[in-house]
């Protein structure tokens, strides 16, 4: 018997009912899915022949969570709780059959099922924390009852997607069934449940692990302390912890009430609104209106990288990590050996930290080769140039590539600021040239700016965006301008920060304000980390800027033990009297006098200058949409995701408010500064 439902079907074969949900793309728990669950399970319960029910999903995944687009809107019946109760409190066993990802509300539904089976490739988790939320459908109460409080804390506050084998080991799954045979496996499991007359197991009734946790109340304080740095600024991790504490200390129903109260608070709060915005912004960024989704791609089976320095090596690791062979080209054996050794040592550190097996490391290293001969790049599908920022050198390299690399390949430059059109002018096939701007450390940072030149083809853009996703990056399209999206905005902030040094601020005053706002570090700590001598030359330096003087004195950043800050043996930054002296001296020589600058002024001048630049970037069409700018700053520069990004932040304050403030700062913003027409005209 087959019954059609709003988002799926109920099929009854003998004594087993199969409720199959179909709600593309990811079977999110929208109203129709909840309705389908309630109706389908109720029908199966009511059918006299049925003795067990299998809940399975069509398409690429099991239920991937609540429908995030419904948050903040009036609730539509039936609620997720109703759907869960129909399953958990019903009188027939329900078996969740999981493939793809069972996440958030989706996993919370599975936890209400009496049994769970999955294919080995499946992953389960409660990732709500990444949306500034907590699992609000019993996840914080049921998960700890299976895995214990300590594991639940890690899994829930980390929002981890846990592999099926690990879920099985923790008791979250009852059985793994062969890959590709989920339905057959789930039916066989249901047969066992019927034949062995297994009980209607309810996670809510388990108490053993909660009792064990009650004997160690210090667990929570220790966890908070150990993760204080990681959770800095975020509200959701603390709320998740409180819910797990409630699971340990309160009866199930009361724990559920705590969870509900805290969930409602988070879902309406600014942090979750910003993080949900960031979730969709990231997905939007992959869509380029004039490059159709079915644009033919270059199949990237082999990658060439020119330059085995820090950037080149980091970029190479991304490809080796996903099984794509990479050849790195250098100009000297010494540089090549050094580059390959650095990659090996980076992998070695990951192995030491237990995040990669020695075997996997060797497999990745086997994919990495080096050469001094550019001819080796002839059969590469994608070549990425990652040498230092010198236009003449880059053009010479591209001219050579043009003669060597097979037709159809994508030729990319990792430049962080130079004109991609000028680089493309060095080749006979400018349509193949695209910018792929990675961020340092390139094997870690999520952002990839894909830079579109005037002649870049749809195929080159689509290939760069696609391969970016394959290597785990968040790719954002940028047009050509100095610094592209990210560094151009960074420069606007740096100009304000530098200007405030001449008005009476010290570097650590400015850094502290931006750190407290939620940035990982301020502009001066960042310069010290990158090295103050990047782009500085001893031969031409004339003590014209504070940086010049610092570099001339050998204070070139963390690597020399001193820069804007002094560094101790553990690389801890301390405010520096030497730097204070240099700044004071500069102020006196240039006739500047000191004034008190409030933290508010520091913050507003830095951030509003960024917003202003971002508005120009948008108006010029360098960024496709405001949210792309936010994706760049969240993923490439550590803008706190709970504040959405500079453009989202601007919208929360009101663009007209920002324009008014910028006008009030007037000449302080600098002679170069002009209010963006977008802000000027904001109502
Ligand atoms: N709600 C609404 N839309 C969703 C969604 C969700 N939970 N999850 C994914 N989508 C949409 C995406 O926006 C995207 O839409 P688009 O095609 O229009 O851009 C489409 O589904 C496909 O998503 P991805 O591009 O991300 O597809 P992938 O295959 O790369 O990844 C995924 C699939 C791993 C499921 C990923 O989409 C994901 O992580 N989704 C969010 C999972 C999640 O956070 N679940 C918890 C939700 S909150 C919750 O459940 C609260 C509860 O506790 C009460």
Alpha carbon distance 1, 522 (integer Å): 65
Position 296 in a domain = no
Tokens 């700044």 belong to 583
Its domain, for residue 667, covers 599-680
Strands annotated E in 521-654: 566-567, 573-574
pLDDT digits 0-9 by tens, 202-261: 999 999 999 999 999 999 999 999 999 999 999 999 999 999 999 999 999 999 999 999
Q: Please check whether residues 557 and 666 belong to one and the same domain.
A: no
- Beta carbons of 106 and 135 less than 8 angstroms apart: no
Residue whose CA lies nearest to ligand 1 atom number 14 = 283
Q: Given pLDDT bands bounded at 50, 70 and 90, which one contains residue 534? A: confident
- Quote the percentage of the chain above a pLDDT of 70: 100
Alpha carbon distance 99, 681 (integer Å): 51
Q: Given pLDDT bands bounded at 50, 70 and 90, which one contains residue 1? A: confident
pLDDT(683) > 80: no
What was the pLDDT predicted at 627?
A: 98
Q: What is the mean pLDDT of residues 533-546?
A: 90
Q: Please check whether residues 465 and 425 belong to one and the same domain.
A: yes
pLDDT digits 0-9 by tens, 317-328: 999 999 999 999
Q: Given pLDDT bands bounded at 50, 70 and 90, which one contains residue 12? A: very high
- Quote the percentage of the chain above a pLDDT of 90: 96
- Beta carbons of 565 and 579 less than 8 angstroms apart: yes
Closest residue by Cα to residue 410 from 291, 289, 299, 287: 299
Mean pLDDT of the chain: 96
User: 139-147 and 105-112 helices cross at what angle (nearest 10)?
Assistant: 60
What was the pLDDT predicted at 374?
A: 97
Residue 342 phi/psi, 5-degree rounding, is -65, -40
Q: Cα separations (Å) of 546 from 183, 552, 580?
A: 68, 10, 10
Q: How many domains does the chain have?
A: 4
Write the CB contacts of 568 (distance below 8 Å, at least 6 apart in sequence). Answer: 574
What was the pLDDT predicted at 202?
A: 98
Q: What is the mean pLDDT of residues 114-124?
A: 98
Q: Please check whether residues 59 and 113 belong to one and the same domain.
A: yes
Residue whose CA lies nearest to ligand 1 atom number 16 = 283
Q: Please check whether residues 236 and 345 belong to one and the same domain.
A: no
What was the pLDDT predicted at 680?
A: 87
pLDDT digits 0-9 by tens, 256-299: 999 999 999 999 999 999 999 999 999 999 999 999 999 999 99
Q: Please check whether residues 398 and 317 belong to one and the same domain.
A: yes
Alpha carbon distance 215, 34 (integer Å): 39
Residue whose CA lies nearest to ligand 1 atom number 25 = 283
Q: How far is the CA of 25 from the centre of ligand 1 (A)?
A: 9
Write the CB contacts of 362 (distance below 8 Å, at least 6 apart in sequence). Answer: none
Tokens read off for 47: 């059918």
Position 627 in a domain = yes
- Beta carbons of 357 and 384 less than 8 angstroms apart: no
Position 355 in a domain = yes
Position 445 in a domain = yes
Closest residue by Cα to residue 678 from 601, 591, 620: 620
Ligand 1 atom index nearest CA of 130: 44
The CATH number for 418's domain is: 3.40.50.720
Residue whose CA lies nearest to ligand 1 atom number 54 = 136
Residue whose CA lies nearest to ligand 1 atom number 38 = 64
pTM of the model: 0.95
Alpha carbon distance 152, 155 (integer Å): 5
Closest residue by Cα to residue 676 from 613, 623, 632: 613
Tokens read off for 324: 């794509």
Q: How far is the CA of 187 from the centre of ligand 1 (A)?
A: 28
pLDDT(484) > 80: yes
Write the CB contacts of 251 (distance below 8 Å, at least 6 apart in sequence). Answer: none
State the DSSP code for 204.
G
Q: Given pLDDT bands bounded at 50, 70 and 90, which one contains residue 681? A: confident
Q: How far is the CA of 505 from the centre of ligand 1 (A)?
A: 45
64-73 core/surface letters (b: 16 or more CB in 10 A; e: else): bbbbbeebee
State the DSSP code for 427.
S
Mutate-to-test residue for ligand 1 from 59, 64, 265, highest number of ligand atoms within 8 A of CB:
64
Ligand 1 atom index nearest CA of 66: 50
Q: What is the mean pLDDT of residues 572-583?
A: 96
Residue 299 phi/psi, 5-degree rounding, is -75, 115
- Please report which residue ranges of 196-309 form alpha helices under DSSP H: 208-214, 218-226, 228-231, 236-249, 252-268, 270-285
Q: What is the mean pLDDT of residues 440-459?
A: 96
Q: How far is the CA of 473 from the centre of ligand 1 (A)?
A: 17
Q: Given pLDDT bands bounded at 50, 70 and 90, which one contains residue 648? A: very high
Domain stop point among 268, 294, 324: 268
Residue whose CA lies nearest to ligand 1 atom number 22 = 25
Q: How far is the CA of 642 from the centre of ligand 1 (A)?
A: 18
Helix (H, G, I), strand (E, B) or coil at 288: coil
Q: How far is the CA of 283 from the centre of ligand 1 (A)?
A: 9
Domain stop point among 220, 251, 268: 268
For the chain, first and last CA: distance in Å?
A: 61
Mutate-to-test residue for ligand 1 from 60, 68, 138, highest number of ligand atoms within 8 A of CB:
68
Q: How far is the CA of 311 from the centre of ligand 1 (A)?
A: 32
Pocket around ligand 1: residues whose beta carbon is below 6 Å from it?
25-26, 28, 61, 64-69, 101, 103-105, 108, 127-128, 131, 133, 135-137, 139, 280, 283
Mutate-to-test residue for ligand 1 from 21, 23, 24, 26, highest number of ligand atoms within 8 A of CB:
26
Ligand 1 atom index nearest CA of 280: 13
Ligand 1 atom index nearest CA of 159: 44
pLDDT digits 0-9 by tens, 74-99: 999 999 999 999 999 999 999 999 99
pLDDT(513) > 80: yes
Mutate-to-test residue for ligand 1 from 25, 80, 142, 277, highest number of ligand atoms within 8 A of CB:
25
pLDDT(332) > 80: yes
Q: Given pLDDT bands bounded at 50, 70 and 90, which one contains residue 682? A: confident
Q: Please check whether residues 541 and 613 belong to one and the same domain.
A: no
Ligand 1 atom index nearest CA of 134: 53
Ligand 1 atom index nearest CA of 287: 19
Tokens 């082999």 belong to 302
Tokens read off for 559: 């690597």
Q: Please check whether residues 201 and 59 belong to one and the same domain.
A: yes
Q: Please check whether residues 420 and 349 belong to one and the same domain.
A: yes
The CATH number for 569's domain is: 1.10.1040.10
pLDDT(307) > 90: yes
pLDDT(63) > 90: yes
- Beta carbons of 480 and 420 less than 8 angstroms apart: yes
pLDDT(391) > 90: yes
Annotated catalytic residues are: 108, 128
Tokens read off for 575: 């405010």
Q: How far is the CA of 444 from the centre of ligand 1 (A)?
A: 23
- Beta carbons of 508 and 565 less than 8 angstroms apart: yes
What was the pLDDT predicted at 590?
A: 87
Helix or strand holding residue 523 (H, E):
helix 523-530
Q: Please check whether residues 263 and 321 belong to one and the same domain.
A: no
Q: Please check whether residues 431 and 371 belong to one and the same domain.
A: yes
Residue whose CA lies nearest to ligand 1 atom number 24 = 283
Domain stop point among 548, 564, 590: 590
Q: Please check whether residues 70 and 217 belong to one and the same domain.
A: yes
pLDDT(494) > 80: yes
Residue 544 phi/psi, 5-degree rounding, is -80, -25
Alpha carbon distance 248, 225 (integer Å): 19
State the DSSP code for 79.
P
The CATH number for 264's domain is: 3.90.226.10
Residue whose CA lies nearest to ligand 1 atom number 35 = 64
Write the CB contacts of 380 (distance below 8 Å, at least 6 apart in sequence). Answer: 302, 303, 304, 327, 405, 406, 409
Q: Please check whether residues 579 and 622 belong to one and the same domain.
A: no
State the DSSP code for 406.
P
Q: How far is the CA of 69 from the centre of ligand 1 (A)?
A: 10
Mutate-to-test residue for ligand 1 from 23, 62, 65, highest number of ligand atoms within 8 A of CB:
65
């Amino acid at each position: 018997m087959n019954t059609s439902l709003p988002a799926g079907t109920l099929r009854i074969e003998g004594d087993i009912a199969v409720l199959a949900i179909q709600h593309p793309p990811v079977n999110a728990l929208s109203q129709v899915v909840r309705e389908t669950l309630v109706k389908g399970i109720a029908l199966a319960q009511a059918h006299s022949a049925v003795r067990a029910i299998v809940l399975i999903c069509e398409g690429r995944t099991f239920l991937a969570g609540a429908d995030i687009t419904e948050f903040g809107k009036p609730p539509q019946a039936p609620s997720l709780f109703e759907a869960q109760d129909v399953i958990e409190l019903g009188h027939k066993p329900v078996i969740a059959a999981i493939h793809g990802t069972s996440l958030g509300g989706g996993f919370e539904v599975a936890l209400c099922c009496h049994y769970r089976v999955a294919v080995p490739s499946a992953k389960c988790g409660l990732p709500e924390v990444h949306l500034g939320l907590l699992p609000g459908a019993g996840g914080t109460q049921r998960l700890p009852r299976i895995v214990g409080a300590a594991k639940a804390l890690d899994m829930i506050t980390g929002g981890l997607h846990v592999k099926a084998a690990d879920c099985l080991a923790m008791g979250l799954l009852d059985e793994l069934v062969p890959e590709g045979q989920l339905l057959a496996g789930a039916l066989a499991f249901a047969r066992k449940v019927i034949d062995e007359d297994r009980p209607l197991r309810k996670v809510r009734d388990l108490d053993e692990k909660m009792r064990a946790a009650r004997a160690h109340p210090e667990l929570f304080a220790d966890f908070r302390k150990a993760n204080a740095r990681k959770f800095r600024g975020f509200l959701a991790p603390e709320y998740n912890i409180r819910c797990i504490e409630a699971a340990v200390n309160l009866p199930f129903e009361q724990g559920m009430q705590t969870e509900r109260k805290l969930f409602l608070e988070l879902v309406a709060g600014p942090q979750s609104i910003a993080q949900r915005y960031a979730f969709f912004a990231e997905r939007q960024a992959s869509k380029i209106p004039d490059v159709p989704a079915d644009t033919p791609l270059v199949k990237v089976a082999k990658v060439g990288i020119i330059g085995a320095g820090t950037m080149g090596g980091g970029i190479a690791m991304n490809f080796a990590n996903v099984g794509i062979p990479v050849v790195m080209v250098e100009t000297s054996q010494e540089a090549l050996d050094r580059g390959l050794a650095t990659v090996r040592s980076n992998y070695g550190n990951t192995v030491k930290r237990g995040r990669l097996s020695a075997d996997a490391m060797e497999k990745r290293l086997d994919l990495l080769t080096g050469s001094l001969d550019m001819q080796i790049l002839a059969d590469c599908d994608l070549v990425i140039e990652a040498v230092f920022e010198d236009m003449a050198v880059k053009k010479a390299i591209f001219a050579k590539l043009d003669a060597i690399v097979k037709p159809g390949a994508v030729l990319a430059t990792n430049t962080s600021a130079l004109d991609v059109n000028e680089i493309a002018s060095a080749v006979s096939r400018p349509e193949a040239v695209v910018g792929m701007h990675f961020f340092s450390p390139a094997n870690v940072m999520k952002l990839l700016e894909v830079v579109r030149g005037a002649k870049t083809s749809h195929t080159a853009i689509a290939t760069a965006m696609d391969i970016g996703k394959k290597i785990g990056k968040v790719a954002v399209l940028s047009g050509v301008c100095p610094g592209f999206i990210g560094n151009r905005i960074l420069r606007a902030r740096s100009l304000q920060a530098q200007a405030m040094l001449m008005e009476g601020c010290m570097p650590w005053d400015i850094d502290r304000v931006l750190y407290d706002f939620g940035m990982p570090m301020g502009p001066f700590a960042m310069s010290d980390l990158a090295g103050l001598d990047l782009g500085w030359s001893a031969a031409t330096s004339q003590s014209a800027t504070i940086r010049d003087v610092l570099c001339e004195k050998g204070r070139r950043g963390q690597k020399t033990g001193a820069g804007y800050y002094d560094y101790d043996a553990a690389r801890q930054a301390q405010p520096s009297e030497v730097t204070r002296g240099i700044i004071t001296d500069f102020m006196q020589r240039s006739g500047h006098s000191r004034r008190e600058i409030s933290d508010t002024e520091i913050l507003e001048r830095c951030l509003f200058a960024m917003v202003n630049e971002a508005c120009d970037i948008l108006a010029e069409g360098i960024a496709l949409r405001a949210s792309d700018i936010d994706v760049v700053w969240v993923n490439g520069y550590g803008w706190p995701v709970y504040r959405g990004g500079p453009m989202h932040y601007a919208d929360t304050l009101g663009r007209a408010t920002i324009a008014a403030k910028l006008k009030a700062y007037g000449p302080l913003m600098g002679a170069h500064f002009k209010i963006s027409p977008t802000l000027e005209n904001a109502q």
